[in-house]
């Protein structure tokens, strides 16, 4: 049928940034050329090469020859090659991930157009920052009109199978590493980066756009959370610190292993520093984190403010009452409850 649901979704999203002539499907060289996406005001042709059909050597040769004719006629031709296909023209072509979502593929294409100086850099950056499909309703309309309802069913089945593969990979990663936060490039499945995939699922879940059955399956993974790695790190540290404070209040903190206590106090110190840095930039920590800290007994964002003079006064009292020089104080010495040695 010379098109696909994937191509139509990509075309719809690109049309939100580029002045695509939606109804135009051909241009003239020394013959009539069928084209996928035409931007006549910019003299740009975008051709989508799906990995199934365009992998054949004879098809690749025809694609290259067609691009040559279009360029000779004054068109800039960018072939969008689906992995594992490789570029036919290194200077213009762009490779997108196999079965890439439309917003991911469109962002890669726009980045390449910006590199070529065909569109402003900020247009490509603004689109990528959005992070979601921009023309889903339009794409659905085109798919139904050109391919029919069965195309949706086939597309849904393919994407469900791809999602299942990534989910199985996340299970395996979690079993080996004890968490669900793979870093970029650490683990790939058929060319798909597991770290990027997991971040997208978290974003969809937070926005309540992830299918309920998928939310349920992800929740079954012991360490899964829809929070970012940074946010998850905060809550893990928070729970340790709160447990440390409560244990200290009840006298249970005296333990020969001081590592957990030190880790908790270091976390609190780092949190104070992080908030101070943000405040200097006119920002702050998330409201839920600020609220959580108010529930920690005795918590203060500036615990040492005013304490310096109190400690100096204690040293003066020690000297006045004992008439001994402070040089004799050993590190562990206390005096009237003051840790003067420290």
pLDDT of 330 reads 86
Could you give the percent of the chain with pLDDT greater than 70? 96
Asked if residue 43 has pLDDT above 90, the reply is yes
Residue 325 covered by a domain: yes
Asked if residue 316 has pLDDT above 80, the reply is yes
Q: Which residue has the higher pLDDT, 260 or 335?
A: 335
Ranges 116-130, 153-167, 254-268: which has the least confidence: 254-268
Q: Helix count (H) and strand count (E) of the chain?
A: 12, 8
Q: Within this chain, do residues 188 and 126 fall inside the same structural domain, yes or no?
A: no
| Omega cis (within 30) before 84 | yes
Q: Within this chain, do residues 263 and 336 fall inside the same structural domain, yes or no?
A: no
Phi, psi (deg, nearest 5) at residue 208: 60, 35
Look up the pTM and report it: 0.56
Q: Within this chain, do residues 239 and 198 fall inside the same structural domain, yes or no?
A: no
Phi, psi (deg, nearest 5) at residue 26: -150, 155
Asked if residue 65 has pLDDT above 90, the reply is yes
In the block, residue with structure tokens 């926005």:
207
Q: Within this chain, do residues 65 and 175 fall inside the same structural domain, yes or no?
A: no
Q: Last residue of some domain: 219, 249, 280?
A: 219
Q: Within this chain, do residues 104 and 207 fall inside the same structural domain, yes or no?
A: no
Asked if residue 90 has pLDDT above 80, the reply is no
Residue 172 binned pLDDT confidence (cut-offs 50, 70, 90): very high
pLDDT of 265 reads 86
In the block, residue with structure tokens 């157009």:
113
Which residues partner with 44 through β-bridges?
39, 76
Residue 318 covered by a domain: yes
Residue 74 covered by a domain: yes
DSSP state of 182: P
Asked if residue 253 has pLDDT above 60, the reply is no
Among 54, 139, 49, CA closest to 94: 49
Q: Last residue of some domain: 141, 157, 183?
A: 141
Can you state the angle between helices 136-146 and 149-177, rounded to 10 degrees? 130
pLDDT of 313 reads 87
Residue 300 covered by a domain: no
Residue 254 binned pLDDT confidence (cut-offs 50, 70, 90): low
> Domain residues for 23?
5-141
Report the chain's mean pLDDT, rounded to a whole number: 87
145: Cβ contacts below 8 Å, ≥ 6 apart: none
Q: Within this chain, do residues 37 and 113 fall inside the same structural domain, yes or no?
A: yes
Q: Which residue has the higher pLDDT, 6 or 232?
A: 6
Which residues partner with 78 through β-bridges?
46
Q: Last residue of some domain: 78, 113, 141?
A: 141
Q: What is the mean pLDDT of residues 314-327?
A: 86
Q: What is the mean pLDDT of residues 255-269?
A: 77
Residue 93 binned pLDDT confidence (cut-offs 50, 70, 90): very high
* CA–CA dist 171, 163 (Å, integer): 12
Q: Which residue has the higher pLDDT, 287 or 150?
A: 287
CB atoms within 10 A of CB 109: 24
Residue 331 covered by a domain: yes
Residue 311 covered by a domain: yes
Among 37, 14, 36, 47, CA closest to 123: 14
Among 119, 42, 25, 30, CA closest to 77: 42
3-state DSSP call for residue 81? strand
* CA–CA dist 17, 37 (Å, integer): 13
Residue 131 binned pLDDT confidence (cut-offs 50, 70, 90): confident
Q: Within this chain, do residues 26 and 53 fall inside the same structural domain, yes or no?
A: yes
Q: Within this chain, do residues 67 and 131 fall inside the same structural domain, yes or no?
A: yes
Which residues partner with 28 through β-bridges?
32
Q: Within this chain, do residues 35 and 111 fall inside the same structural domain, yes or no?
A: yes
* CA–CA dist 215, 218 (Å, integer): 5
Asked if residue 171 has pLDDT above 90, the reply is yes
Q: Within this chain, do residues 28 and 113 fall inside the same structural domain, yes or no?
A: yes
Q: What is the mean pLDDT of residues 174-194?
A: 87
Stated as kind and residue range, the H or E segment containing 172 is helix 149-177
Residue 319 covered by a domain: yes
Residue 32 covered by a domain: yes
Asked if residue 326 has pLDDT above 70, the reply is yes
pLDDT of 119 reads 95
- Structural domain count, the chain: 4
Asked if residue 258 has pLDDT above 80, the reply is no
* CA–CA dist 64, 88 (Å, integer): 6
Q: Within this chain, do residues 15 and 127 fall inside the same structural domain, yes or no?
A: yes
Q: Within this chain, do residues 137 and 10 fall inside the same structural domain, yes or no?
A: yes
Q: What is the mean pLDDT of residues 287-293?
A: 90
């Amino acid at each position: 049928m010379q098109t696909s649901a994937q191509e139509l979704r990509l075309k719809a999203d690109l049309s939100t940034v580029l002045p695509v002539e939606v109804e135009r499907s051909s241009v003239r060289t020394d013959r009539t050329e069928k084209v996928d996406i035409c931007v006549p005001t910019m003299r740009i042709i975008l051709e989508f090469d799906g990995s199934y059909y365009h992998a054949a050597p004879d098809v690749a040769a025809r694609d290259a020859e067609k691009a040559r004719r279009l360029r000779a006629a004054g068109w800039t031709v960018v072939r969008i090659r689906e992995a594992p296909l490789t570029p036919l023209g290194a200077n213009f072509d762009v490779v997108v991930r196999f079965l890439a979502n439309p917003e991911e593929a469109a962002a890669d294409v726009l980045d390449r157009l910006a590199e070529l100086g065909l569109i402003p850099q900020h247009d490509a950056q603004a689109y990528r920052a959005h992070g979601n499909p921009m023309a889903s309703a339009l794409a659905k309309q085109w798919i139904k009109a050109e391919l029919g309802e069965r195309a949706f069913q086939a597309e849904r089945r393919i994407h469900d199978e791809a999602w299942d593969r990534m989910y199985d990979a996340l299970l395996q990663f979690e079993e080996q590493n004890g968490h669900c936060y793979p870093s970029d490039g650490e683990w790939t499945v058929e060319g798909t980066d597991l770290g990027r995939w997991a971040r997208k699922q978290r974003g969809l879940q937070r926005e309540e756009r992830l299918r309920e059955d998928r939310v349920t399956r992800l929740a079954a993974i012991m360490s899964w959370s829809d929070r970012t790695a940074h946010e998850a790190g905060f809550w893990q540290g928070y729970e340790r610190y709160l447990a440390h404070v409560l244990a200290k209040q009840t006298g249970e903190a005296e333990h020969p292993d001081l590592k957990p206590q030190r880790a908790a106090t270091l976390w609190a110190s780092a949190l104070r520093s992080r908030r101070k840095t943000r405040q200097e930039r006119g920002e702050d920590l998330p409201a839920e984190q600020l609220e959580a800290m108010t529930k920690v007994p005795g918590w203060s964002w500036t615990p040492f403010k005013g304490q310096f003079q109190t400690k100096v006064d204690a040293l003066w009292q020690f000297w006045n009452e004992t008439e001994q020089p402070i040089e004799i104080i050993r590190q562990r010495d206390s005096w009237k409850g003051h840790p003067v040695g420290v």
